C-alpha cells in the first residue's frame, strides 16, 4: 500500500501545547518536512524565539537553541558564521521580529546573512495574552488597544516583506498563508525554496506566514481563518517579494 502521509521524523514526539486552531503546529510540520526532505535534518540548527513558539526547541527534532526576545537573527548569524555548512533557521513571531527585534531583522537582511527566517505573522502577541503587535490591523482589538487599533494612537501596521524588499541584501522573500490545504502546500514550497537557496549559499531568505490566533482574537477557528482571508490578506498581500533572477526563470520554465 502506498503511504500518502506520515509523521515527519523532523519533529519530536513531544505533544505540542499550541491552542486549537493555531497555525504554529502546521508551520512546524512544514519546516520539519522541508529540512528532512532536503536531506538536511542532521545538519540543521534552529533558533527558537520568545513568544508562543518559545517551546519550538522541544518540537523540532534537530539541534536547537532558544534565545532572548527578538535576537534570533543575531544568534543565527553567530551560528552560521561558525558552522557555514549547517542549515540555520530562526523561527519568529511578529512581536519578536517586527518590534523588539527589528534592528536584528533589518541588519541580518542587509548583511545578507546566509540564514532563513520563518516569520509567523498573526497580528497579535499570543504568549503574553493578546496585546497589540506591530502587525495588528487598524481597527483590530487587542488587550492594549481595547477599542481597536487607531492610526492616531498607534500608527500603522508594518509590512515586513515590503520593507525588506527595499534592501539589496535579501535574496528571497515570500508571504504565504496556512488558511486552507492549497495554501499549506504553497507555504511548504516557499519554505523549501528558502532552505534550498541557503544550501546554495545565496544569502538571506525569509518566509512570512500569515497565521491565525483564535484564542487571542477571541474567535472560533473557522472565523479566524476567515479573518486571515478577509482582513489580513488585503493589507498583507500574498506573493513573492524578492527572488533570484535565475531561479525565477527556472521556476517559470518548470511550471
**Segment contacting other proteins (CB under 8 A): 45-53, 154-162, 203-211, 236-244?**
45-53
Grid cell in block for residue 27: 508551520
Interface with other proteins: number of residues (CB under 8 A): 34
Residue from the set 11, 26, 32, 47 that interacts with other proteins by CB under 8 A: 47
Residue from the set 11, 27, 48, 190 that interacts with other proteins by CB under 8 A: 48
Q: Provide, rounded to whole angstroms, the least separation between the CB of residue 82 and other proteins.
A: 4
* Residue numbers 91-130 binding other proteins by CB under 8 A: 103-104, 106-107
What number of CA atoms fall less than 13 Å from residue 49's CA on the CB side? 30
Place of cell 545538519: 43
Told to check if 240 binds other proteins by CB under 8 A, we report: no
Grid cell in block for residue 63: 539541534
Coil vs helix vs strand at 145: strand
Told to check if 71 binds other proteins by CB under 8 A, we report: yes
What number of CA atoms fall less than 13 Å from residue 254's CA on the CB side? 6
Grid cell in block for residue 28: 512546524
What whole-number distance in Å separates Cα of residue 202 and Cα of residue 63? 23
Nearer to other proteins (CB atom), residue 48 or residue 140 = 48
* Residue numbers 138-197 binding other proteins by CB under 8 A: none
Told to check if 247 binds other proteins by CB under 8 A, we report: no
Told to check if 38 binds other proteins by CB under 8 A, we report: no
**CB-CB contact of 89 with 46 (8 Å):** yes
> Distances in Å between the alpha carbon of 138 and those of 82, 148, 180, 227?
42, 7, 25, 13
Residues lying near other proteins in the complex (CB under 8 A)? 41-45, 47-48, 54, 57, 61-68, 71, 74-83, 86-87, 103-104, 106-107
Amino acid at each position: 500500500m502506498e503511504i500518502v502521509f506520515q509523521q515527519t521524523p523532523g519533529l519530536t514526539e513531544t505533544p505540542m501545547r499550541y491552542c486549537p486552531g493555531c497555525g504554529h503546529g502546521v508551520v512546524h510540520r512544514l519546516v520539519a518536512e522541508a529540512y528532512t526532505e532536503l536531506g538536511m535534518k542532521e545538519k540543521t540548527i534552529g533558533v527558537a524565539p520568545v513568544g508562543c513558539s518559545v517551546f519550538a526547541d522541544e518540537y523540532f527534532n534537530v539541534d536547537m537553541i532558544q534565545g532572548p526576545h527578538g535576537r534570533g537573527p543575531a544568534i543565527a548569524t553567530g551560528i552560521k558564521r561558525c558552522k557555514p555548512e549547517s542549515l540555520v533557521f530562526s523561527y519568529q513571531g511578529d512581536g519578536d521580529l517586527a518590534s523588539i527585534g527589528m534592528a536584528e531583522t533589518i541588519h541580518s537582511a542587509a548583511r545578507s546573512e546566509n540564514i532563513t527566517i520563518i516569520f509567523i505573522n498573526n497580528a497579535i502577541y499570543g504568549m503574553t495574552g493578546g496585546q497589540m503587535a506591530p502587525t495588528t490591523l487598524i481597527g483590530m482589538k487587542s488587550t492594549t488597544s481595547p477599542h481597536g487599533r487607531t492610526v492616531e494612537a498607534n500608527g500603522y501596521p508594518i509590512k515586513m516583506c515590503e520593507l525588506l524588499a527595499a534592501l539589496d541584501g535579501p535574496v528571497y522573500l515570500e508571504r504565504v498563508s496556512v488558511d486552507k490545504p492549497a495554501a499549506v502546500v504553497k507555504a511548504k514550497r516557499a519554505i523549501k525554496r528558502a532552505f534550498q537557496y541557503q544550501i546554495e549559499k545565496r544569502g538571506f531568505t525569509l518566509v512570512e506566514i500569515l497565521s491565525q490566533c483564535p484564542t487571542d482574537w477571541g474567535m472560533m477557528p473557522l472565523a479566524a481563518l476567515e479573518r486571515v482571508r478577509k482582513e489580513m490578506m488585503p493589507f498583507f498581500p500574498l506573493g513573492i517579494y524578492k527572488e533570484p533572477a535565475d531561479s525565477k526563470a527556472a521556476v517559470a520554465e518548470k511550471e
